[in-house]
Chains A and B, each alone.
Chain A
Amino acid sequence: MDSKSGSAESIYVPEAVQRAAKILVVGHFAVGKTTLIGTLSEITPLRTEERMTQAAAQVDDLRGAPDKKTTTVALDFGRLTLSDELVLYLFGTPGQQRFVELWEDMARGSLGALLLVDPARLADTFPVIDLVETYGLEYAVAVNSFDPHSQHAEDELREALDLLPDTPVVFCDARDQKSSAHALITLVRHLLTHAT
């Protein structure tokens, strides 16, 4: 890239970039989404928020959700310039079921989702898988773990999460760039096998 020698680090997307792609990093609270995004991002990860509108609150009411207050959801995201004309954004997306409106917005235009899993809190992952599948996102599972991959651990996890045989499972350390990149590459390879 010809801008790499620029003096001050620019916050802007390189001029020649024509397109932006989006991949979601999903998982339950505190599973390591923001860590993984920070490990891979070329910019200091940014945070913004989406506010659930009143209309959504009313929809929630119809579904029996008791809370009518405006809810704010923090979104952390990072950016990777992947070629002269393409950037990729990684968006951390909270896995709570009550954020359905947010998920509609997030899922639209996404290539797929990297599902981060804490092997010690598998039950917390069930609702996240429900959301990913509801919105028709292809995904790969990244087990955020200090333990190395073992076939036994993978088999157990596949069974517990009831994964399809072709859903990739990788073990990764969200603090480690190579390891996190490997998880992301595994996801994109998987997405390619499903692309037409």
Chain B
Amino acid sequence: MTAPGEEQQVSSGFVRSYVITGGRGLPDAEDLSLVTLVTLAPESQPPPNPSPEVRAIWELCSGGYLSVAEVAGHLGLPVGVARLLLQDLHQQGHLLRRKAPPPAQLVDRKILEEVLHGLQVRFG
């Protein structure tokens, strides 16, 4: 616990993330939700002299589609940091995304029916 004005304690993990992201703020969750499916566009060329994290995300994402959460999990990065690296790839035109899922209020019957059917087939 720290008093107001006192310097905030940060974990080493936080410092590490700060270095990876170059000190930029983490992007909003709207853009790349936990379950947005992403992959690298074919023919993408990695940047010269990539940092270890950038190299790792290129290797991981070139193999096929994964959710943003899976990218973070496989790379051992916090979700926010993985999101930032993915956003960079997106801005450089390297990222392909599947359509984002609708917000909770708009859950459509069709998806629920597909989920139910899929579960029954799988475990029925």
Question: Does A associate with B in a complex?
Answer: yes
B-side contacts of A80, CB under 8 Å: 118-119, 122
| Beta-carbon contact of A185 and B120 below 8 Å | yes
- Interface bin, chain A: 35 or more
Q: How far is the CA of A188 from the CA of B121 in the complex (A)?
A: 14
Other-chain contact of B118, A20, A70, A86, A111 (Cβ < 8 Å):
A86
Taking CB atoms, residues of chain B closer than 8 Å to A82 are 114-115, 117-119, 121-122
Contact B103 A108 (CB under 8 A): yes
Query: Chain A residues near B123 (CB, 8 Å)?
Result: 177-178, 181-182, 185
The reply to whether A109 and B103 contact each other, CB–CB distance below 8 Å, is yes
Partner of A83, one of B80, B100, B109, B118: B118
On chain B, the number of residues with a Cβ less than 8 Å from chain A's Cβ atoms is 55
Is B34 among interface residues, defined by CB-CB distance under 8 A?
Answer: yes
Q: Determine how close the nearest CB of chain B comes to the CB of A63; give it in whole angstroms.
A: 15
B115 near A111 with CB under 8 A, answer yes
Contact of B116 among A43, A53, A75, A185 (CB under 8 A): A185
Given A68-B1, A79-B70, check contact A17 B34 (CB 8 Å): no
B residues near A, CB below 8 A?
1-2, 8-11, 13-14, 17, 26, 29, 33-37, 63-67, 69-70, 72-74, 77-80, 82, 98-105, 107-109, 111-123
A-to-B contact residues, CB < 8 Å: 10-13, 15, 17-23, 43, 46-51, 53-54, 66-70, 72, 75, 77, 79-83, 86-89, 91, 105-112, 136-137, 177-178, 181-182, 184-185, 188-189, 191-192, 195-196
